[in-house]
């Protein structure tokens, strides 16, 4: 049967809508003050990225020897990542771009890797490195995962240390002109690929050659080179000292015109620290409230200031991570503290790392990545509590386009869960998808359950905390105490201060004697069971 003009028009309309929908999570993105915005919807696009390494020898994304590409990307989607920071080496573009992948394994002595790729992704062995990258990018795009192409190194190798000759401009393996050539080739190659929403200039500048004048000179050239070849992508700009320092921008902004495409990035690990805190052991050797406070204050002084004021710009934590085997107390404490920073400001971020293993790392074959989301099999999570721990970080909690009232989520960073009210009107920790939202107007006042006249009330030491109609007593007035401001405390009769604390044997939240809330160098007890944070949301 022939189609009427109306039906043909309707089919065309449906096709156009389908095309629009298929690209609604892809480029172009742009910036609006401190936020990244999806141009197709006008709403905020929060980047929740997993770092996927492809910068080591043999210059392809890891894991293709373990599972089919489609399944690897599906793992990212299942674990609620909407973005990948896909790392590459400059030499892949400038020296080895047309080399055959199978040939590159000849000098690596890794037959088990070759056999694995032949089993799971056989077509890739006959591809070039760039073709493999493109295949990975295309599959990410097909599953609606955005791509930040990250220039990690020049020479393909594990990164980083101060004498690796890859750290700063004019190092042996960091020729500025070859670097610009590589950025240009990558930007041109992926121009028009809707999965690639952003490109970075360089990962973790470091080493003895570092200086601000060369930083301004070459970062400006690199940003403009990418923007000229691919004006659709965001350009990510990193700082000095392993991407922990951008404070020089306070007095000397980077005055280049990228339209609304400029984004800054920063990194932090338990050992990278701030100033005198640059020791991993500091997380167990000094009071945790003090260390967390000074770490967060240092973050704001070095990089966080970029997100405030009339000239605010986006800042993305493109790298942080922790030992996902759970064996490092220092990493665990660092992570919980950093979570409060990321959640409070609802920042975009990238976790190191997605990969569970490496083909070849520092001359060792099929090396496990203890910081990997996936385990060495690439089938299972390495950190069993990952879903709970990262649930609120992965959600968009603030949107500059929202007209909704600001309320608060009561966050328990130690587990990543949130406080909710049960059918007994008592508080317990559970999923952050619950509907318990709070109103908190000022320090030392009531915390009201949104939509009711009930307030948070302490029943006494060791007893469950509940919501009640008794909102005039001291047991219903709360304040953030300690240097970390992560203890919610009230006062009972007799001026005895009590803090919220998760019960050690259940999901209940009780009132308990506050742990180490004074800045006492001798108080080294772990206060994390009492850390609660009121996180603003308008979503």
User: Which three-class secondary structure string do you get for 90-123?
Assistant: HHHHHCCCCCEHHHHCCCCCCHHHHHHHHHHCHH
* Cβ contact 344:535 at 8 Å: yes
Q: In what order do the strands lie in the sheet with 509-513?
A: 479-481, 487-491, 497-502, 509-513
Sign of the four-CA dihedral 498, 502, 322, 431: negative
pLDDT in tens, the chain (539 residues): 444 444 444 444 334 343 433 344 457 999 999 999 999 999 999 999 999 999 999 999 999 999 999 999 999 999 999 999 999 999 999 999 888 999 999 889 999 999 999 999 999 999 999 999 999 999 999 999 999 999 999 999 999 999 999 999 999 999 999 999 999 999 999 999 999 999 999 999 999 999 999 999 999 999 999 999 999 999 999 999 999 999 999 999 999 999 999 999 999 999 986 654 557 889 999 999 999 999 999 999 999 999 999 999 999 999 999 999 999 999 999 999 999 999 999 999 999 999 999 999 998 999 999 999 999 999 999 999 999 999 999 999 999 999 999 999 999 999 999 999 999 999 999 999 988 999 998 777 899 999 999 999 999 999 999 999 989 888 999 999 999 999 999 976 555 789 999 999 999 999 999 999 999 999 999 999 999 999 999 99
CA dihedral 191, 197, 201, 203 (to 10 degrees): -130
pTM for this one?
Answer: 0.93
Closest by CA to 510, choosing from 437, 460, 445, is 460
Residue-level pLDDT at 495: 58
Residue-level pLDDT at 16: 39
C-alpha 229/C-alpha 498 separation (Å) is 59
């Amino acid at each position: 049967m022939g189609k009427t003009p109306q039906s043909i028009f309707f089919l065309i309309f449906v096709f156009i809508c389908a095309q629009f929908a298929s690209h609604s999570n892809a480029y172009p993105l742009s910036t609006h003050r401190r936020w990244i915005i999806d141009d197709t919807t006008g709403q905020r696009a929060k980047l929740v990225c997993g770092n996927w390494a492809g910068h080591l020898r043999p210059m392809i994304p890891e894991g293709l020897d373990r599972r089919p590409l489609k399944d690897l990307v599906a793992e990212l989607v299942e674990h609620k990542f909407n973005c990948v920071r896909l790392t590459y080496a400059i030499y892949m573009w400038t020296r080895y771009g047309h080399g055959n992948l199978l040939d590159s394994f000849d000098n690596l002595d890794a037959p088990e890797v070759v056999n694995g790729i032949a089993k799971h992704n056989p077509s890739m062995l006959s591809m070039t490195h760039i073709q493999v990258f493109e295949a990975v990018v295309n599959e990410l795009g097909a599953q609606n995962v955005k791509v930040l192409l990250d220039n990690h190194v020049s020479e393909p190798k594990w990164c980083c240390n101060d004498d690796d000759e890859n750290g700063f401009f004019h190092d042996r393996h960091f020729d500025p002109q070859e670097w610009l050539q590589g950025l240009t080739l990558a930007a041109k190659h992926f121009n028009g690929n809707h999965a690639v929403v952003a490109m970075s200039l360089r990962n973790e500048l470091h080493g003895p050659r570092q200086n601000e004048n060369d930083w301004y000179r070459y970062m400006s050239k690199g940003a403009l080179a990418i923007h000229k070849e691919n004006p659709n992508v965001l350009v990510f700009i990193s700082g000095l000292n392993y991407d922990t320092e951008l404070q020089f921008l306070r007095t000397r902004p980077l005055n280049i015109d990228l339209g609304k495409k400029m984004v800054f990035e920063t990194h932090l690990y338990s050992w990278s620290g701030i100033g005198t805190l640059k020791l991993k052991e500091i997380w167990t050797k000094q009071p945790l409230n003090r260390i967390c406070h000074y770490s967060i204050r240092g973050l704001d002084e070095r990089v966080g200031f970029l997100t405030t004021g009339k000239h605010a710009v986006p800042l993305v934590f493109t790298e942080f991570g922790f030992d996902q085997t759970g064996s490092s107390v220092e990493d665990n404490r660092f992570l919980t503290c950093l979570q409060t920073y990321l959640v409070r400001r609802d920042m975009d971020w990238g976790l190191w790392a997605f990969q569970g293993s490496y083909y070849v790392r520092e001359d060792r074959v099929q090396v496990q990545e203890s910081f990997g989301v996936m385990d060495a099999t690439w089938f299972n999570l390495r950190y069993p509590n990952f879903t709970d721990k990262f649930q609120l970080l992965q959600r968009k909690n603030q949107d500059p386009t929202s007209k909704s009232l600001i309320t608060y989520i009561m966050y328990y960073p130690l587990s990543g869960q949130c406080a909710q009210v049960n059918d007994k009107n008592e508080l317990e920790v559970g999923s952050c998808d619950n509907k318990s939202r709070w109103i908190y107007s000022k320090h030392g006042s009531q915390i009201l359950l949104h939509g009711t006249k009930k307030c948070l009330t302490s029943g006494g030491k060791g007893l469950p905390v509940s919501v009640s109609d008794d909102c005039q007593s001291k047991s219903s007035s709360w304040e953030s105490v300690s240097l970390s401001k992560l203890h919610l405390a009230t006062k009972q009769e007799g001026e005895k201060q009590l803090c919220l604390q998760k019960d050690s044997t259940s999901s209940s939240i009780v009132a308990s004697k506050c742990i180490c809330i004074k800045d006492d160098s001798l108080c080294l007890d772990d206060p994390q069971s009492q850390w609660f944070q009121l996180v603003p949301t308008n979503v």
